[in-house]
Structure 1
Amino acid sequence: MTREQHGTVPQPGTRVARGEGLRLFAAAIMIMIGMFHLIAGFAAVLRGSYFVVSENYFLVIDVAVWGWGHLVLGIIVVATGAALFAERPWAYVSGIVIVGLSALGNFMFLPYQPLWAVLIIAVDVAVVWALAMRLRELSVGD
């Protein structure tokens, strides 16, 4: 339910206002992360020679396979971020799971783009934190 349906608008600094900020932050960052996954996926599929792979990494997979994985993950992350903007209740828990998978996928992407993967993992952790805090606020009650 939206604030307008309740007939009240929360004052700045209240629990509801902070929670809404966390939801909006997570939704916006998820859409951005999804777009980054799409860009990395297209780069890997269309121009796999762009990525240089270390041969001493425990997980060696074809770059095109990683590209398709990033494309699929990017679409899912963008869709879940859009669902958070639309205030869908299922998007909180599924967002945590999907962003966790994003972090795991980027961990395995470390030999291809180490700095980029670490940056996206850090942003994924921030999104998980924001979603978990919002879920806690919702369980305690607005």
Structure 2
Amino acid sequence: MAQQVHATKLANSGWVSGGIVFAGVLMLVNGILAILQGISAIAADDVWARVGAYVYKINLTGWGWILVVLGVVAVIAGVGILKGFEWARAVGIALASLSMVLQFLFLPYAPIWSIIMIAIDMFVIWALAVYHPEKYAA
């Protein structure tokens, strides 16, 4: 019976550990992409064209600075997640949650990208929330 429980823990560990690594890589890549997206918004307001009318209107230069700052924090959190730092999981969940809200606000500028990013943020939140290293330790 003890071996069966141990085998179940190891099986779960692989799945969950893989999810946490994937979430860390996603945070790192999303952070880099946010920095690049922010730089393009700061450099030229005409890079992003608005698609239709939308209630939330954001100055693209301000939006660009928000993306750069959040991108830098996301890169730091992604590296922290990959290194196994506990604080990085909490920061990652907070950043992914904030990213979901910000991507909703960015819908008029890049609707398909924003929907994809919202889905990725949902996965990151799930992967970081279910990972408990002490629970899955062998």
TM-score, scaled to structure 2: 0.85
Which structure shows the bigger proportion of residues in helix conformation? 2
Name the CA distance, whole Å, in 1 between partners of 2:62 and 2:136.
44
**Structure 1 residues 120 and 40: CA distance shift in structure 2, 3 A:** same
CA distance in 1, matches of 2:37, 2:23: 21
- Higher mean alpha-carbon deviation, 83-92 vs 53-62, is at 53-62
Letter in 1 for 2:30: I
Secondary structure of the residue that 2:55 maps to in structure 1? coil
Mapped to 1, the partners of 2:127 and 2:120 lie a distance apart of 11
2:71 matches 1:62: no
Deviation at 1:116, TM superposition (A): 1.0
Report the counterpart of residue 95 of structure 1 in structure 2. 92
C-alpha separation in 1, matches of 2:37 and 2:75 = 14
Letter in 2 for 1:25: F
Aligned length, in residue pairs: 131
State the 1:18 CA deviation.
2.5
CA gap of 1:28–1:17, structure 2 versus 1, over 3 A, is same
Q: Does 1:40 align with 2:41?
A: no
Which letter maps to 1:30? M
Could you tell me the percent identity over the aligned residues?
29
2:120 alignment partner, one of 113, 123, 132? 123
Deviation at 1:140, TM superposition (A): 4.2
Q: Specify every segment of 5 or more residues in structure 2 that has no aligned partner in the other structure, as ranges.
A: 1-6
Gap runs ≥5 in structure 1: 1-9
Q: Secondary structure at the match of 2:32?
A: helix
Instruction: Provide the alpha-carbon RMSD of the alignment.
Output: 2.2
1:52 to 40, 49, 52: 49
Deviations 1:36-88 (A, max 9, x none): 11121011011210111256211111111111111111111111010011110
Question: Does residue 84 in structure 1 map to residue 94 in structure 2?
Answer: no
The offset of 1:90, in angstroms, is: 1.1
